[in-house]
Amino acid sequence: MIDADATLKALAEPRRREILRLVGERELSAGQVATHFDVSRPAISQHLGVLRQAGLISERREGARRIYAAIPGRIEELNEYLTGFWGEGLAALKVAAEAEQRRPSHSAD
Amino acid sequence: MIDADATLKALAEPRRREILRLVGERELSAGQVATHFDVSRPAISQHLGVLRQAGLISERREGARRIYAAIPGRIEELNEYLTGFWGEGLAALKVAAEAEQRRPSHSAD
DNA sequence: GTTTGCCGTAAGCCATCGCTTACTATAGGC
DNA sequence: GCCTATAGTAAGCGATGGCTTACGGCAAAC
């Protein structure tokens, strides 16, 4: 199972979502990513670190450069996690509602 | 389109995910939700406000009580948003990665 | 009308976060 | 060796976030 907490915290930041979108289109060096934003390069470097620790992007060394790219499949895993912990609840609600219809004398709390 | 920023920020908090899971199983009053946690009731009330403003839960008045329940479909919308903004580039990456797994002769990392 | 129970709001505290300006580390050109 | 380019790290700052206690607003019971 993915680290849902780290993944959601990483995605909760608009700038990081934009970075992820960029490296999802094509792999980019840290400096290339930084040129797309008005913030300083160290700020981007920190964002990249958060995304990498969350397992959303990969890092590859190429000389002095660091090339980053989105890791395929992570979003699907997150979707499965989210659907999972909500899907069970919805199923339970549905079953409860149907049972309720067949037992109108049921005294709820 | 959903408010992805508010939704992700709301879900980035572990306590709020647990609350969402609770009211996803069955609708609960604010006080009932609070009994599941060690934090104070106002803290829970604030969390419920964040979840409600993100459109993840609904609020219904029942006398002096407030009954909360998960809103079905929100997670699906979030999933669509996440899958969408990764774009075709990432889909291509995923296909390439899967092809890579079937061709272990190509060693790269 | 007063009291009791349920619950949101206000104000303040402390931790975390995102950003900045240094500084350090590594790779390569000269 | 020296210098430049690329990029992560450290320290500090202001803003945000989650928590607490105190309070105010409603609804029902008496």
DSSP result, B58-104: EEEEETTEEEEEE-TTHHHHHHHHHHHHHHHHHHHHHHHHHHHHH-T
B24 HSE (CA, 13 A, CB side): 22
Interface of B with A in 69-98 (CB under 8 A): 70, 72, 75-76, 78-79, 82-83, 85-87, 89-91, 93-94, 97
CA distance A24 to A40: 21
Q: Assess whether pLDDT exceeds 90 at residue A47.
A: yes
Q: Taking CB atoms and an 8 Å limit, are B93 and A72 in contact across chains? A: yes
Name the pTM for this structure.
0.83
Q: Assess whether pLDDT exceeds 80 at residue B75.
A: yes
**Measured over all CA atoms, what is the biggest interatomic distance in chain A, rounded to whole angstroms?**
74
pLDDT at A2: 86
Chain C: positions less than 7 Å from a protein CB are 5-10, 17-22, 25-28
Are the CB atoms for A52 and A23 separated by under 8 Å? no
pLDDT, tens digit (0-9, with 9 covering 90-100), for B31-73: 999 999 999 999 999 999 999 999 999 999 999 999 999 998 8
* DSSP character string of A11-38: HTSHHHHHHHHHHHHS-EEHHHHHTTSS
Rg (chain B; Cα; Å): 20
Which residues 56 to 95 of A reach strand D, CB within 7 A?
A: 59, 64-66
pLDDT at A83: 87
Query: How many CB atoms neighbour CB A55 within 10 A?
Result: 16
pLDDT, tens digit (0-9, with 9 covering 90-100), for B16-25: 999 999 999 9
pLDDT at A8: 98
The torsion angles phi and psi of A104, rounded to 5 degrees, stand at: -65, -15
Q: What dihedral angle (degrees, nearest 10) is formed by the CA atoms of B46, B48, B53, B58?
A: -150
Q: Identify the CA nearest to B101 among candidates A70, A26, A73.
A: A73
Q: Is A65 helix (H, G, I), strand (E, B) or coil?
A: strand
Are the CB atoms for A57 and A23 separated by under 8 Å? yes
Average pLDDT of the segment spanning A67-77? 92
Q: Is B26 helix (H, G, I), strand (E, B) or coil?
A: coil
Chain D: positions less than 7 Å from a protein CB are 5-10, 17-22, 25-28
Q: Which nucleotide is nearest to B63 (CA to C1')?
A: D27
* Chain mean pLDDT for chain B: 86
Which residues 24 to 83 of B reach strand D, CB within 7 A?
A: 38-40, 42-43, 46-47, 50, 63-64
Residue A2: list chain B partners with CB under 8 A: none
pLDDT, tens digit (0-9, with 9 covering 90-100), for A74-91: 998 999 999 886 666 555
